[in-house]
Amino acid sequence: MRVVFRRVHKTFVQKGQRVQALSDVNFTIEEGEFICVIGPSGCGKSTLIGLIAGLEFPDSGEVYVDSKTVEGPSPDRIVVFQEAALFPWLTVLENVEFGLKIAGVPGKERRERAIEAIKLVHLSRFVHAHPHELSGGMRQRAAIARALVMDPKILLMDEPFAALDAQTRQMLQVELQEIWQKTRKTVLFVTHNVREATFLADRVLEISARPGTIKREY
């Protein structure tokens, strides 16, 4: 799916004050591209993800996905957050199955798809483990599997490796590249880490300090 931002402006109200998060943002993500977004804290990087996911809406301008205006959330656009946010009382398998269960996918198909997604993130030995039994990196792998099992067209990743140690982060960067090469999903990945961005991305979009706008493209 192709993503287009056209003259997007976005403000929020904080403590009674209007704060402009984004100003005149214009860019396009082609289908199958891996795009990283970098910029200082508070510049609106996460707001971009919210707008594509349909969790936020622009004050003016348009956000298009597949030539249609984004009007709300969709299973075609899945977000992976900085925190894995797994259900602690469910196993890895049950966590990965959860979205399919809500969508009404039959049990046998649900289990098969979940196991395939878990294999993709190299967690096959931990299908019956609970989140508290996993390392931070393993929990984030499970969160990625939970997103992939829904077969989204667009994967939105909001600093998913920020809380991990350097070695685990580097390992997951390589694994994410492998997953992307296998699935060729459109990916928008937000990060503060320049090295991470240049390693992962086809293109890197640099956002200015608030109000955020596209400052440069690499």
3-state SS, 12-54, equals EEECCEEEEEEEEEEEEECCCCEEEEECCCCCCHHHHHHHHHC
pLDDT score, position 82: 87
Q: What CA–CA distance (Å, rounded) separates 56 from 139?
A: 27
Q: What CA–CA distance (Å, rounded) separates 159 from 190?
A: 5
Tokens at residue 193, please?
A: 């880490």
Upper half-sphere CA count for residue 195 (Cβ side, 13 Å): 7
Model pLDDT for residues 52-111, shown as the tens digit of each residue? 999 999 999 999 999 999 999 999 999 999 888 899 999 999 999 999 999 999 999 999
pLDDT score, position 216: 94
Model pLDDT for residues 1-28, shown as the tens digit of each residue? 899 999 999 998 888 888 899 999 999 9
Model pLDDT for residues 139-195, shown as the tens digit of each residue? 999 999 999 999 999 999 999 998 888 888 898 999 999 999 998 999 999 999 999
pLDDT score, position 165: 87
Q: What CA–CA distance (Å, rounded) separates 117 from 137?
A: 16
